[in-house]
Structure 1
Amino acid sequence: MRKLKNEELDRLDIEGFKNANKTPVVVVLDNIRSLNNIGSVFRTSDAFLIEKIYLCGITATPPNKDINKTALGATESVAWEYKESTLDVIQNLNAEGYTSLAIEQAENATMLQDFKVKPNEKYVLIFGNEVKGVSQEVVNICTGVLEIPQFGTKHSLNISVSAGIVIWDVWSKIKVKKNPT
């Protein structure tokens, strides 16, 4: 088995990405402190053709060398916008018909493996601060809460790891719904 070279991967260029049909998912970062985490979420969002990222509250914005270090150019391909209030962003997206899902540990949360996508549904995935998580006021207005099951001694995963797991899981479920075998 031979590893493929980058030029063999047939990836989109930035213009191709911007014109591609996007996955009906918006990512919202609620007060993320780490610039490396922000960059990693951009890179994951690029990999799965995410519609847009909202950077809210204290979340830093591109251009920034520490974001770029992990984003590897994804800040140029993925649409993004800064908004002061995560609450306002979620209220607006809810009004536009999105299903808003906080990624959090909460009462009556749906375990990620049990989450089922609905045909023609648009989703918002909200990831919270590294210490405090998604703010309670944002959780209160979300359509639901998704939880990544964990079985070890730690109470949480790094936000970039959580984003990678959840975005891939939701993307794969959307793709299966669109292309059942």
Structure 2
Amino acid sequence: MSDQQQFGSEDDAPHGVGPWPGGREEWPEGPWYDAELLEHGDRRNVIDRYRYWSMAAIVADLDTKRHAFHVAIENWQHDMNIGSIVRSANAFAADTVHIVGKRRWNKRGAMVTDRYQHVVHHESVAAFIDWARSEEMPVLAIDNVPGCVPIETYELPERCVLLFGQEGPGVSDEAVEVSDAVLEISQFGSTRSINASAAAAVAMHTWVLQHVDFA
């Protein structure tokens, strides 16, 4: 199955580009290009750099520039935010997204970005923590619970896992207990919490601000 056929509803979106102008004789050369995309157009939600590239080529290129942080999401309920968090992880070039709990998750919010993002599954918090310890990867839970530390004042390790809970209940008590730190995003209004996917994006961008050299 070609990349053009795989993308389903994304191909029907208004964004993207049409067939490569000029016909086959003017197609660009390179192993990363997909012939069907060049012929029929590329309607995928990708940046211009990756227009007409095959999915495998995009993933391979991303693998050369992914950042050192990972993202983990507890999946005990049917939470629509998980897909959005995966999409943000792709946008910020997280190394891997870890789904903790139920294997199945709602992918609608991911907008197909999960096909470019490494996603792995752990059956339980214990299994996830075993993996993190084996990789010497600090686990930083993001939640506003008693004793948490403002993320704005915390020095995030370059190699770490940012752990997020479900919308509403937040990070589970089990996960809080085994995390290396619990961080909160400072708020200044009346609401008790911000949306889980918004919190994830803020936390990832905080890591970017601390570790990416924009010069």
Please, what TM-score do these two structures have when normalized by structure 1? 0.80
Deviation at 1:24, TM superposition (A): 0.8
Match 1:165 to one of 193, 202, 214:
202
Q: Percent identity?
A: 25
Alignment of 1:10 with 2:52, yes or no, is no
Per the TM alignment, residue 32 of structure 1 is displaced from its structure 2 partner at its CA by: 5.3
| Structure-2 change in CA distance of 1:81 and 1:23 (3 Å) | same
**Structure 1 or 2: more strand by fraction:** 1
User: How big is the shift at 1:108?
Assistant: 3.1
Shift of 1:112: 1.5
Of the candidates 98, 116, 123, which is equivalent to residue 155 of structure 2? 116
What secondary structure is seen at the aligned counterpart in 2 of 1:50? coil
Structure 1 stretches of 5 or more lacking a match? none
More contact order relative to length (CA 8 Å, sep ≥ 6): 1
Report the 3-state secondary structure (helix = DSSP H, G, I; strand = E; otherwise coil) of the residue aligned with 2:48: coil
CA distance in structure 2 between the aligned counterparts of 1:11 and 1:157, rounded to whole angstroms = 33
Query: What corresponds to 1:150 in structure 2?
Result: 187
CA contact (8 A) 2:140 2:183 kept: yes
Q: Quote the residue 1:79 is aligned against.
A: 118
Tell me the number of residue pairs that the alignment of Structure 1 and Structure 2 aligns: 167
The answer on 1:52 being equivalent to 2:111 is: no
The alpha carbon displacement at 1:85 in A equals: 0.2
Check if 1:22 corresponds to 2:66. Answer: yes
The secondary structure found in structure 2 opposite 1:51 is: coil
- Judge which range, 134-143 or 106-115, deviates more: 106-115
Amino acid at match of 1:56: V
Deviation at 1:34, TM superposition (A): 4.3
DSSP 3-state at the match of 1:145: strand
TM-score using structure 2 length: 0.69
After superposition, the C-alpha distances for 1:53-76 in whole angstroms (9 at most, x for unaligned) are: 111223633xxxx51x32121110
CA RMSD, aligned part only? 2.4
Q: Is the 8 A contact 1:24 1:51 kept in 2?
A: yes
Which structure has the greater CA radius of gyration? 2
